[in-house]
């Protein structure tokens, strides 16, 4: 058992992929990847794929929301650096409501659907999703920003609201 | 030497075709991300291959490790090279000074690439309507031909203007600026390869293997006076990699043998397709070959912010879908539409097996429908694609673009540096051929084994060993490049009571080549601590080395 120290948290519907593996992960070479997703946690095949896809030496763990909250609250003396990944904003909210503290939240990849407005190259958001993010921001003081890779432009949630969802101000 | 309008037009046409990506996934990717291929072409057009290769090699070193996760690069190497090489040739600039042209041009061009993605987004809804009408020709035009034309018309004029007017502009600029500034530019150009090399080290990302980087660095320092051929270094690195893998991984092999045997020999054959009688609802070997070619050729052509590679995926399997569902227009329409939703992965490691798996699932479905049996849910097809595209692209970006491509470049760079066309031809031919071949193998595997193919692809010890071997060789070659091509040295000297102390000579006595190695390690350290902020580091390095060069410290 090790205590989690969250070094990075990201929402990305593709979870581990090129941007995460060849760019973001390189800034946290000691961290383990923790994916929190209820669906994935019960899909043995996909869980296995994610574990195998990680670069040699990087641990990948997949938890459902409840299991993650249990795991996180374990008291232990050893600290484990954790690179957190969520498939969607909803799961992230549930985990935070359950008490997991996240200080900064990167929104990296949310694919376009008819309900979502295209905001950056890789992120589209619906009004409900922006509402959820705003709630997280006020409730837990999370710094929420959109950024695909470390070299791309960083867009803060306040800018998103001002430019794309002025009615939510 | 002046640049004629014809020469400028030929160079612009070359860039426009590469940027349209219509010449194939791993060929256009290679030419976009790297400098040597374009260096050779520009050299041929300008009638000076040796000098063009030398300049391109210098630019290449700055852009080692550049890849495009998410579609855009921090800097468009092909445009940077296509503008900087002719301009440097025409104005007689030193290769290191050509970096001063390449860097800003590459940055500007990456905006043009983003703009292209935006324009491509506008096409997607039209393709949706064409799919509804089952208009195959229309889809080919909208998904493939139109984006090609759009990109060519975006890039041709801008590159033409930059090349044609750039040379005289830079020429008069060079005459006007003082020698101290020219020297500072040379210092910047000499130091920036440290960025490319550090980026490659970070992207290969195997701190456990860094010892091979240091080994190569010092081996190459020792061998420098012997003027060793490029291949000799590659062979030495290959031997080192083999020894490491053989000694370290062989033992891991034997321990795990029981497990991997299970996967490869007992489980897998169950998924082999029973040999069915040839009928029209069968995906043939020919279909697989054609699908792979259509995909490889066009993966990145209709790439857009909204759907990414969905349009090329649908276009690639369109003929097979028509064959499978041809008698059932409603099903065919649904099939066209379900493959037009968001899809994005690495083309070979992700695209190929996923295409194979998709064809196999679609075949099962079409057969079930034809026999009036309960057909597999189409949602499973989409869920499989979406689930696999992420993890497979991670592996593809790391192995194919970051490791194999830059490994081939690193092996060929010394040839390029000495002005030989081999420096371009070697990776330019090998990389597309190798990737095309194993991509087709992956596609067949996906078709034959279904989604289990992915476990075989990712989980096999052979693949892990191969990746470790390639990473070892990659780090080794980076060590060779550091000692040969990163130039950071100081002209500082003091006279103390009649005796001259040269700082560089003192440093060389302590550890030869200390400054280049330190520069690379500092950048590498920054990347692993602060993340891969390439543009930020590029900006700071330009400023710091310019100032140090200008005031005469370097």
In order of B35, B87, B168, B413, the CA distances from B83 in angstroms are 11, 6, 12, 20
- Tokens coding B267: 């489980």
* pLDDT at B549 > cutoff 90: yes
Q: Where are the alpha helices (DSSP H) in B372-510?
A: 378-396, 406-417, 422-449, 452-459, 461-485, 503-510
Looking at residue B496, the DSSP 8-state letter turns out to be E
Query: What does the pLDDT look like over B491-506, one tens digit per residue?
Result: 998 888 888 888 998 8
Number of neighbouring beta carbons within 10 Å of residue B311: 29
pLDDT level of residue A52 (50, 70, 90 thresholds): confident
Residues 30-89, chain B: which have Cβ within 8 Å of A?
67, 69-72, 74
Number of neighbouring beta carbons within 10 Å of residue B463: 15
Query: What does the pLDDT look like over B90-125, one tens digit per residue?
Result: 988 899 999 989 999 999 998 899 899 889 989 999
Of A122-136, A152-166, B176-190, the range with the lowest mean pLDDT is B176-190
Tokens 């939240």 sit at which residue? Answer: A105
* pLDDT at B255 > cutoff 70: no
The pLDDT, as a whole number, for residue B250 is: 67
Residues in chain A with CB shorter than 8 Å from the CB of B527 are 26-27
CA distance A51 to chain B (A): 9
Is A46 touching B (CB cutoff 8 A)?
Answer: yes
Catalytic residues of A: 17
Q: Nearest residue on chain A to B71, judged by CA atoms?
A: A121
Query: Residue B398, by phi and psi: left (phi above 0), alpha (psi -120 to 50) or beta?
Result: alpha
Query: What does the pLDDT look like over A53-109, one tens digit per residue?
Result: 887 778 999 999 999 999 887 767 788 899 999 999 999 999 999 999 999 999 999
Q: How far apart are CA A139 and CA A118, in angstroms?
A: 26
Q: 3-class SS at A145?
A: strand
Residues in chain B with CB shorter than 8 Å from the CB of A57 are 206, 208
- Tokens coding B289: 């070959």
The pLDDT, as a whole number, for residue B252 is: 59
Q: How far apart are CA B2 and CA B170, in angstroms?
A: 12
Residues in chain B with CB shorter than 8 Å from the CB of A152 are 70, 72
CA distance B195 to chain A (A): 14
Phi, psi angles (nearest 5°) of residue B304: -140, 165
Asked if B393 lies within 8 A of A18 by C-beta distance, the reply is: yes
Q: How far apart are CA B350 and CA B448, in angstroms?
A: 16
- Tokens coding B98: 């050509």
The whole-chain average pLDDT of chain B stands at 90
Q: What angle do CA B50, B52, B56 make, to 5 degrees?
A: 120
- Residue of A19, A53, A54 lying closest to B69 (CB–CB): A19
Looking at residue B308, the DSSP 8-state letter turns out to be B
pTM of the predicted protein model = 0.90
Residues in chain A with CB shorter than 8 Å from the CB of B390 are 14-17
Is A42 touching B (CB cutoff 8 A)?
Answer: no
What would the mean pLDDT of B332-347 be, rounded to a whole number?
Answer: 94
The pLDDT, as a whole number, for residue A135 is: 96
Strands A143-146 and A104-109 come out as parallel
Q: How far apart are CA A132 and CA B389, in angstroms?
A: 27
Number of neighbouring beta carbons within 10 Å of residue A87: 21
Least Cα distance to B237 among B30, B469, B525, B79 occurs for B469
């Amino acid at each position: 058992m090790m205590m989690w120290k969250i070094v990075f948290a990201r929402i990305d519907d593709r979870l581990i992929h090129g941007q995460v593996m060849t760019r973001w992960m390189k800034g946290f070479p000691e961290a383990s990847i923790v994916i929190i997703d209820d669906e994935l946690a019960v899909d043995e095949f996909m869980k296995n794929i994610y574990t195998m896809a990680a670069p040699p030496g990087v641990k990948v763990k997949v938890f459902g929301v409840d299991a993650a909250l249990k795991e996180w609250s374990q008291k232990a003396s050893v600290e484990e650096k954790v690179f957190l990944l969520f498939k969607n904003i909803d799961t992230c909210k549930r985990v935070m409501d359950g008490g997991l503290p996240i200080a900064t939240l990167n929104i990296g990849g949310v694919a376009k659907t008819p309900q979502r407005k295209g905001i950056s190259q890789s992120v589209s958001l619906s009004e409900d999703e922006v509402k959820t993010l705003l709630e997280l921001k006020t409730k837990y003081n999370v710094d929420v920003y959109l950024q695909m890779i470390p070299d791309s432009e960083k867009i803060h949630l306040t800018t998103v609201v001002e430019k794309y969802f002025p009615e939510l101000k | 030497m002046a640049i004629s309008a014809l020469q400028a037009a030929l160079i612009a046409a070359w860039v426009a075709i590469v940027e349209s990506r219509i010449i194939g996934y791993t060929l256009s990717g290679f030419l976009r991300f790297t400098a040597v291929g374009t260096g050779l072409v520009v050299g041929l057009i300008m009638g000076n291959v040796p000098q063009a290769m030398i300049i391109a090699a210098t630019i290449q070193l700055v852009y080692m490790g550049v890849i495009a996760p998410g579609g855009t690069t921090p800097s468009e190497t092909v445009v940077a090279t296509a503008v900087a090489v002719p301009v440097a040739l025409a104005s007689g600039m030193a290769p290191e000074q050509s970096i001063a042209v390449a860097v800003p041009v590459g940055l500007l061009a990456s905006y043009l690439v983003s703009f292209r993605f935006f324009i491509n987004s506008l096409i997607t809804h039209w393709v949706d309507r064409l799919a509804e009408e089952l208009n195959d020709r229309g889809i080919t035009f909208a998904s493939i031909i139109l984006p090609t034309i759009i990109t060519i018309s975006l890039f041709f004029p801008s590159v033409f203007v930059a090349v044609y007017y750039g040379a005289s502009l830079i020429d008069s600029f060079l005459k006007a600026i003082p020698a101290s500034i020219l020297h500072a530019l040379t210092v910047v150009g000499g130091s920036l390869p440290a960025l490319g090399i550090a980026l490659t080290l970070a992207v290969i990302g195997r701190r456990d293997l860094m010892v091979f980087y240091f080994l190569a660095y010092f081996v190459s320092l020792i061998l420098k006076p012997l003027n060793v051929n490029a291949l000799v270094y590659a062979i030495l690195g290959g031997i080192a990699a083999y020894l490491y893998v053989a000694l370290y991984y062989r033992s891991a092999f034997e321990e795990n043998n029981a497990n991997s045997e299970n996967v490869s020999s007992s489980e897998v054959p169950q998924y082999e397709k029973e040999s069915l009688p040839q009928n029209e609802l069968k995906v043939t070997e020919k279909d697989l070959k054609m699908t792979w070619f259509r995909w490889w050729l066009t993966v990145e052509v209709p790439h857009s912010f909204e759907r990414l590679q969905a349009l090329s995926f649908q276009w690639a399997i369109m003929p097979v879908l028509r064959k499978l569902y041809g008698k059932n227009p409603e099903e065919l329409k649904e099939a066209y539409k379900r493959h037009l939703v968001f899809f994005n992965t690495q083309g070979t490691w992700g695209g190929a097996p996923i295409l194979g798996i998709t064809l196999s699932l679609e075949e099962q479905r079409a057969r079930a429908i034809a026999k009036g049996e309960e057909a597999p849910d189409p949602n499973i097809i989409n869920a499989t694609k979406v689930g696999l595209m992420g993890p497979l692209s991670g592996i593809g970006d790391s192995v194919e673009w970051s490791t194999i491509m830059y490994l081939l470049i690193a092996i060929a760079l010394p040839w390029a540096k000495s002005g030989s066309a081999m420096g371009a031809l070697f990776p330019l031919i090998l990389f597309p051929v190798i990737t095309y071949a194993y991509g087709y193998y992956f596609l067949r595997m996906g078709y034959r084994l279904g989604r289990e193919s992915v476990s075989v692809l990712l989980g096999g010890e052979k693949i892990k060993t191969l990746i470790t071997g390639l990473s070892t060789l990659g780090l080794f070659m980076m060590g060779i490049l550091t000692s040969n091509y990163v130039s950071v040295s100081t002209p500082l000297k003091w006279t103390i009571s009649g005796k001259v102390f040269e700082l560089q000579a003192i440093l060389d006595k302590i550890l030869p080549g200390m400054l280049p190695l330190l520069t690379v390690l500092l950048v590498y350290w920054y990347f692993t601590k602060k993340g891969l902020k390439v543009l930020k580091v590029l900006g700071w390095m330009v400023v710091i080395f310019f100032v140090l060069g200008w005031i005469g410290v370097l």
